[in-house]
Amino acid sequence: MFSKKHYRMQVDFRDCGVACLAMILDYYGSDYSLAYLRTLSKTNLNGTTAYGLVKAGQELGLACQPLKLDLEQLQEAVVQNPALVHVIKEGKFPHYYVVYQVTDTAVFLADPDPQVGLVRRSHAEFLQEWTGVALFFEPGVDYQPRQRREATFWSLLALLSQMKGLFFLIVLVSLGLTLLTILSSYGLQWIVDGYLPQGRMEAISQLSLWLLVAALLQALLQFCKQYPLLLLSRRLSLKLLEDYLSHVFGLPLSFFATRRSGEILSRFTDANQIIEALASLSLTLLLDGLTLVSLSLTLAWQSPQLFLLALVLVPLYTLLFFAFQKKFKSYHQDQLEAGSQLSSSLMDHIKGMETLKALGLEDGALAQNKGYLESFWDKVCTYSCAEQLQSALKSALQLGTTVAIFWWGSRLILTGHLSLGQLLTFTSLLAYFTGPLENLLQIQVQVQKAQVAYQRLQEVYQVPLEEQGDRQSLTRDRGALRLDQVSFAYDYGSPLLKDLTLNIPPGQKLGILGLSGCGKTSLAKLLVGFYQPLEGQVLWAGQDLSCLHPQELRRQVQYVAQDAGLFQGTLRENLLWAAAAETAEADLWAALELVEAVAFVQLLPLGLDTLVGTDGTALSTGQIQRLVLARSLLTGASCLILDEATSHLDPETEERVFDRLLALDQTLIVITHRLELAQKLERIVVLADGCLKETGEKEAINLGQESSF
């Protein structure tokens, strides 16, 4: 029977389909990461198609039967196995549920949205969303349950073992602080019970002075404790974030094409929460645990009866913390997702501000971002309100306990079993007792946050790196590019490219023409190894691109996109970013001369040392295209793939730059819509409907005015 133990929540809203498939797989005894299922089902920025889920299930050994049903048929079908159903949530969002039971009055389903989880819906509510599509999965003949082996949040504790010196220093300082706290509290008892009744003002003044010195020493030790804690957090941050950055930079282009930038960057916030939890977990358990034991022994020795009364706080505090556990986890997940959605939307609109203004859509974009902002702060306020409520209840518990201790302590004083000084000392120490106790209980909240954040981080770590296994080095720096019966698609729809065979000898000047959307750019990205073909091979000098080191390949095969940009830094740094090792100053100017950029570079405030990029000097799109082209020429690559790389230049400048490129002893592959440029190339291929319709010498291809690309 499907139950809560099979539930998997989505990491973001595009994961609803794969999260439901993960539940089905868990029901059949397998555990797969959402990242792996995203890859199998070819999830993109629009989510996952039902056909993609079917193909992913089949890849993992499940047999699938997609059906169009009514509710009565669904009720009969889910008696045996749960169904993955397609719905339109809130009338506008395509979504998936797992339906595991249908009764005469209700539908029991698992919504991968963590805000919902396992719920009961009436027939009317369910039918209002359901499209009638249901996917039924069951183990195939060759199905083998598989359990995933991956690092857990707790495995990160191993990082702390590398910082034993810092730990020892923090523990030593903390023990000194605890000792000073206890001694200072006893100083108050000596004054009240000893010196004050005897009228020994001189002794009271001396002891008060010592207590003042102890307070200053406590402040100093507190600073000495916080500084190593800061160093510990820094080391943990560098380790975790550098590992994350290394993994992200090593991921294939398909990862970035199917995720928004804001979602990727939001994982940095996740990493910070993990670091906070690690530091708190280790130090709280160690330091607050030692403090709590020391204070407990002192309080019990001071007054066993009052200590037993104070212990009532422990179960009450524990009950209070765990009462809020589920709500905090849900609210925190909502806050993370809302923040990711807001940052992604803002990044998209700020980057596309020119387009927004050109279309007059500022108000619409502003309204959308206001909606996301309000949603984010609604989640923040909901979480904060829950925290404030918990904090108010804790304060009430503390106040109630203090009142009870004073009441019982007063009785003990009146019966001669306790002195006033002892009562004051006890209440003073009790204030230090509740702090470590609260910290120990607070661990569960921080660990919950960290576990949610770590799960989101793991979804990135589960994506395979671009360079996996043993890769070959290039046997030749100059070679032929060849497509051998290549088919390609971004998802499980119809192939974008079908059975392409094309040979590009070294030094050839080739043009690729075709209507927009016919697959020209996709073909270019296959040639540089950004994507792998569904069928067939892409070869460089006879070597399969999937077997080569990608960075080595791209040093020889340079892809220049239409919208390629400049990085933050000086113009010189940009040009030298990927330049060959022996590049000299004269080479920079030669490359700029070739692309006709010398004149405007010399007019820049600091020439080659002018800042460019996001915070640098504003350049036109045509100027940027020429600088990007110069940067690619400086790499020394033997093959250049220009994907509309000169489209923003004026026709006269473009023609002159193009003529110089044709004179180079390099393979040149040009994607363009300008027929006058295509006529300068020695060979042309025409793409249409995913196939090579025409290929040959330029004289054999009809490039008359009636042609339209």
Give the separation between CA 63 and CA 136, rounded to whole angstroms.
Answer: 8
CB 96 within 8 Å of CB 165: no
108-141 in b/e form (b: 16+ CB < 10 A) is bbbbbbbeeeeeebeeeebeebbeebbbbbebee
User: In terms of residues, how long is the chain?
Assistant: 709
Q: How many CB atoms lie within 10 A of CB 648?
A: 16
Cα-based distances in Å from 593 to 124, 565, 598, 601, 656: 71, 19, 5, 10, 11
Residue pointed to by tokens 């809130």: 90
Catalytic residue among 16, 20, 518, 639: 16
Which residues partner with 120 through β-bridges? Answer: 108
CB 26 within 8 Å of CB 19: no
CB 524 within 8 Å of CB 641: yes
User: Hey, what amino acid is at 521?
Assistant: T
Give the separation between CA 569 and CA 560, rounded to whole angstroms.
Answer: 20
Give the separation between CA 459 and CA 99, rounded to whole angstroms.
Answer: 25
Which contacts (CB < 8 Å, 24+ apart) does range 240-249 have? 240/156, 240/159, 240/271, 240/274, 240/275, 241/268, 241/271, 244/268, 244/271, 244/457, 244/460, 244/461, 247/460, 247/461, 247/465, 248/460
Helix (H) / strand (E) element for 273: namely: helix 261-283
- Catalytic residue list contains 16: yes
CB 639 within 8 Å of CB 482: no
CB 31 within 8 Å of CB 148: yes
Helices (H), 415-519: 420-461
- Torsion angle of C-alpha atoms 192, 194, 195, 199, degrees rounded to 10: 100
Which residues partner with 487 through β-bridges? Answer: 535
Give the separation between CA 503 and CA 539, rounded to whole angstroms.
Answer: 9
683 phi and psi angles, rounded to 5 deg: -145, 145
Active site residues: 16
